[in-house]
Structure 1
Amino acid sequence: MTTDIEELEFFVQPYQFEPSARRVHFNNDSSENDSSSSSDASESEGQLHDVTYWCTCGNCQQMQVPRDRKCCNDCLQCVEKMGQHSCICQHDGFVANCLNPHVLEVSFYEYIEQQGPVGDDEPIHEIYRYIAYRRFTRWIWHVLGKKKRKVIPSCVVNKIRQTFPSSSGTYTGFKYPDDY
């Protein structure tokens, strides 16, 4: 005799054949005040490319994609951690947690334990760079949940890239889970 669950598998479910909604990025998180959103239609293209227009910490660098153009001062959680510093990259917690290779090495072992081994051809700087992004996200936003993403401020991304550079000099930038 079949169970109710097995019988339900053969019935058409609501919205079963509807396409997935395309994710559009809006900077309107209730937990953040993003007053300098680069998606604002009133901003001219020249202003979007001028770092001084959207960066207030003085350490951001130009990012190729508009959604990556975010300063740490536009992130409420970063501002709360910064204290007297003008940039989150100056915070001792950032340096200790995200730039220290010994801390990242231990996090790498934890990652392997949870996710399984990585390929032998993976460059260590690339691995440490990804782990540093994860550690920064955990430090600032704590637990986001599965397939939840936050744009990391440009100053943080660039400081991590300077510390753990890509051998090819190319970088991916922020991606939503659906972009993979």
Structure 2
Amino acid sequence: METLEGDIPSVDFSQSIDVKPYQFEPLADTNDSRQSTGSEEENSDIEEFPNRLVNTDWCECGFCISMPTVDECICCKEIGAVQAETETGDHQCITESPIFTANCLNRHVLYVSMYEYLQNVGPLDDNQPPHEIYRYLAYRRFVRWIWHFLGKKHRKILPACVVTKIREAFPSEHYCGFKYAM
């Protein structure tokens, strides 16, 4: 293929080029935190308390309440990523952080987040209560703040103090609690 400067080279299509989709993409790292289920990684830092459901001896921040399942009975001080955020400020609990208040409890911020959510997911059911939507968005905003991006079907158990504070701001008669992705 001879080309003059500024000319587009000609391509000989008679030669077969064996290009496969994704052949030059990097292989997935099996140790990548976004690929794991998260429960074994996260729960390795958590101390074993025999009766997490009947008391709050496991709570280090002083704002947690006992949750319906043992997995949900976790304090913000027991999760490394959350604890790192409390250490940056002078806060006993992550729920005392002004970032938490502004991003997870502010109705105006959640209202704007709802439009982004609607753009990605689609319209909401007309009968869905606004508190339920705001509570869901507050959980999502907390996860985005702490873990940035988790990936599809990768979930984290939120600290009991965070769940409690969000539920106080956006109450409901029924809560579904944490569920692993299907």
Please classify the TM superposition score into its range, dividing by the shorter chain length: 0.7 to 0.9
CA RMSD of aligned residues (A): 1.8
CA shift, 1:155, in A, is 0.3
The correspondence for 1:142, drawn from 144, 148, 152, is 148
Match runs of 1:100-179 below 5 Å: 100-166=106-172, 169-178=173-182
Structure 1 unaligned runs (5+)?
1-24, 38-42
Structure 2 unaligned runs (5+)?
1-36
> TM-score by structure 2 length?
0.74
Check the 8 A contact 1:32/1:77 in 2, yes or no. no
Matched, 1:35 2:46: yes
The correspondence for 1:66, drawn from 59, 66, 70, is 70
Check the 8 A contact 1:51/1:60 in 2, yes or no. no
CA shift, 1:54, in A, is 1.2
- Amino acid aligned to 1:76: G
> TM-score by structure 1 length?
0.75
Match runs of 1:90-109 below 5 Å: 90-109=96-115
Q: Which has the higher helix share?
A: 1
Identity rate, percent: 47
CA distance in 1, matches of 2:45, 2:55: 16
CA distance in 1, matches of 2:38, 2:151: 19
CA separation of 1:67 and 1:109: change in aligned 2, threshold 3 A: same
1:79 is matched with 83
